[in-house]
Structures are given as structure tokens and as C-alpha cells.
Amino acid sequence: MNKSALQLMQKDLADLARHLSAKNIEVWLEDSTAQHAKLNSYKTVSLENIGGQVDLAIVMGGDGTMLSVARSLIDAEIPLVGINRGRFGFLTDLRAEDMLVEIDHILAGDYIKESRMLLVAQVVRDGKVAHTSYALNDVVIKSGLRLIELEVEIDQKFVYKQRSDGLILTTPTGTTAYALSAGGPILHPNLEAITLVPICPHTLSNRPIAVNGASKIEVTLVQFDEAQLSFDGQFQVTLEIGDKIMVHRAEKTISLLHPSDYCYFEMLRNKLNWG
């Protein structure tokens, strides 16, 4: 973030904090946010613990910020509101210039509440779980150098063996992220589905598929020079040959609050420059 953008965000944060405090609403700031924005007159707490202090989380930034916060607050089960200070803003849909008015509407109960499904993925190595994590957008298996060879089973049924640059397993929310760039379909976030999108498959017949959200997907790493597993594109786990990636829908969901006039299709038109 350049200096001018950072200054704008600092101003927006200060304006929002003052606005809420003036309404006798208790305001908590995440530690590093308060430090960078130089807002030292408010209560602060770590991101991991803030969910236990508040009833609503307001996230300012881009979709990446929202993804990170959402995963951190899974157990808190509090709703999130996103104020867009990024590029696309598929998840952070409040404009900064309208935020005070829109936040007032939301606090007055004038909003649309939406539940977004999460994926949980486990890396099983030598019969033991080596890593577990959640994703709101996607779980991505990706080669580091050359083609990766993997086998896919869905609900214990063999689907295919694939050679490609990797595989994206995505929620409906994540279909407008990396999967979109890889040629995957856009799924409405209210659908109960998981999409499997190959990354540059070594055969033209290997196409994206969508399966029931209750499906259990198992991906076995057969051969590669180097491979990683990423969650929402924000952190990676190094994989080994023979690892099994077990992916299924998480029991918990993420709640997003939108303005009362929010329309998913209007958002797509605006963000993707549709006619």
C-alpha cells in the first residue's frame, strides 16, 4: 500500500471509530491496526482474541484482508462487514465514502445477512494428519516447477488421474477468485457446492466440475518435483509425494452483512465490467 492510500485508510479508520464512539458504541481495535493508524485512545486486542470482545467485526481493506480476518474469527461466530479499500471488493462491498451512512443502517437492523460456506482441508501423511486449516475462498494444490500428477476421488469414487500445474478446490465464494482466472464457473454464494478447477491441465478434455457441497474429496499426490498446498492464497504447506489432501465442507460458516439494497448480480456487473 502506497503512502497516500495508507493515509486515506488511517483517516477512514479514525472517522469510523469517532462516529461509533459518539453513538456510545464500545470500539475495539486490532493491535497492529491501532498501531499503524495511530489510534491509541481505543481499547485494543489481538485478532485472535477480538472475537470474544465484540458483537460485530468491521473489516477495512480488500478481499485479502477479509479472508484473513474471517478465518481468524471462525470460532467467534460473529458477523462481518467489509469496507472496500482494495481493488475488486467481492467481499468488502461498502464504499469508504458511504461507510458511515451504511454502518448506521446496519446498526439499525437494516441489512441483508448472508452465510458463506467454508472448506476444511487436512494433509494426511503416512496415515497421520500433518496439517489442518480452513478456507473461505479456496484450497489450492500447485506445482512449483513442472507438471504435478494427482489422483482425485469424490465420496470414495475414483474420478480421474490428472497431470497439470495443480488443482483449485473452491467454495462458491471463491469462484470469483483464482478459480475464475483458471477458467472455472461462477457459482452463486447461496449454492451448496464445491468446484474443482484444474490449473493448465495437460489434456483439453479435463474440465472444471462442481459437486454437492456435502461431498468428501480426496486428492492423492502421485508425482511432482515440488508442490505446495495453499489456503485462500495466504499461506502455504509444503507437500510430499504420497500425501493425501482431504477436503470437505466445514460445519461452521461465515456470516456477512450487506446493505439492504445489495444485489450479487449487480456486484458482478460492476466488478467484472459486464454490459
- Phi, psi at 200, each rounded to 5°: 50, 60
**Dist. CA 142–CA 115, nearest whole Å:** 28
> How is residue 184 annotated by DSSP?
P
- Phi, psi at 31, each rounded to 5°: -50, -60
Which candidate in 15, 31, 55, 63 is catalytic? 63
Cell 508425482 found at: 223
**Dist. CA 224–CA 163, nearest whole Å:** 10
98 catalytic residue (yes or no): no
**Max CA pair span of the chain:** 61
186 within 8 A of 265, measured Cβ to Cβ: no
SS (H, E, C) 17-66: HHHHHHCCCCCEEEHHHHHHHCCCCCEEECHHHHCCCCCCEEEEECHHHH
Residue 124: CB atoms within 10 A of its CB come to 17
- Concatenated DSSP letters for 201-220? -SSTT---EEEETT--EEEE
Residues with a known catalytic role:
63
